[in-house]
Amino acid sequence: MYLASTSRVHELTPEERAVYSTLKTESLPEHVAIIMDGNGRWAGHRSLKRFLGHQQGAKSVQLVTETASRIGLPWLTLYAFSLENNLRRPKTEVNFLMRLLKSYLENNVQRMMDNNVRIRYIGRIHELPNEVQDKMAWAADTTSANTGTTLTLALNYGGRIEIVDAFRALAAEIRHKHFAPERISEADISRHLYTAHMPDPDLLIRTSGEMRISNYLLWQIAYTEIYVTERLWPDFRGTHLLEAIADFQRRERRFGGLSDSVGFTDEEAERVKIAAS
């Protein structure tokens, strides 16, 4: 959790301010991750082509990012393009998504600068087209000195392949440094993940009502709170981000421990008789 000390709450819309006023600003999540789902269905419900759903979804990315920056959210990570998308979607759709990514970066880097947003990426970036990689590098370099929200786009990303890549890197380190596998810790694995530079998500939001995590941040969400909304991603706005945070704050995170309201002393545990099975 973090204290929203660098927020620009006065820039929120009236609807956003109404929700924000209900939040405990001293305990906002530090890292929110989002599975942006429903672009195709949004278009289908309106008898539109799928690419129009993706375009509207790109608009939602910028609007939600700007709200995150105004409340001082340190980390926002968006599942933009999965490894499975790259392998299984029609080539025409994949090509359009790559052009849309380039256009999004070209058109929104100045807005990122205006909102003090820094952009980064996770995934098998090296497998994307060279011209897309060049535009991504340009946007990251341009925004690198910004100190507000870090927007991370997961591109050509899969949670399982991230863990595979981490183990490959760790295996190479073991060979090089000659230390015993018995010494491997969770921290050793974590520092070889794509996300080694960021904290694990506190809150995972999934749009479109689907009850699955779709191979997203599998290692990192071990103790993440999950919020699912029926709203499709192209209709998702900053107000809905704040509503998800409000829901998050009504929960009690125990990380495998007990609630403070549960009274059970060591002495009581010793006196409890275990029934025979």
Active site annotation includes 37: yes
Q: What's the whole-model pTM score?
A: 0.90
Active site annotation includes 108: no
Which CATH number is correct for 9-20+28-160+201-250, 1.10.260.40, 3.40.50.2300, 3.40.1180.10, 3.40.50.720? 3.40.1180.10
Helix%, strand%, coil% for the chain, nearest 5: 50, 15, 40
Cβ atoms 93, 50 nearer than 8 A: yes
Query: Kind and range of the H or E element at 204?
Result: strand 203-206
Among the listed residues 37, 39, 108, 115, the single catalytic one is 37
Residue 29 sits at φ, ψ, to 5 deg, of -65, 150
- Residue 269 pLDDT exceeds 70: no
State residue 40's pLDDT score. 95
Binning pLDDT at 50, 70 and 90, where does residue 178 land?
Answer: confident
Which of the residue ranges 64-68, 90-94, 142-146 would you say has the lowest mean pLDDT?
Answer: 90-94
Query: Percentage of residues in the chain with pLDDT exceeding 90?
Result: 83
pLDDT tens, 18-43? 999 999 999 999 999 999 999 999 99
pLDDT tens, 100-153? 999 999 999 999 999 999 999 999 999 999 999 999 999 999 999 999 999 999
| Of 153, 152, 144, residue with least CA distance to 116 | 144
Mean pLDDT across the stretch 191-203? 98
State residue 105's pLDDT score. 97
Binning pLDDT at 50, 70 and 90, where does residue 84 land?
Answer: confident
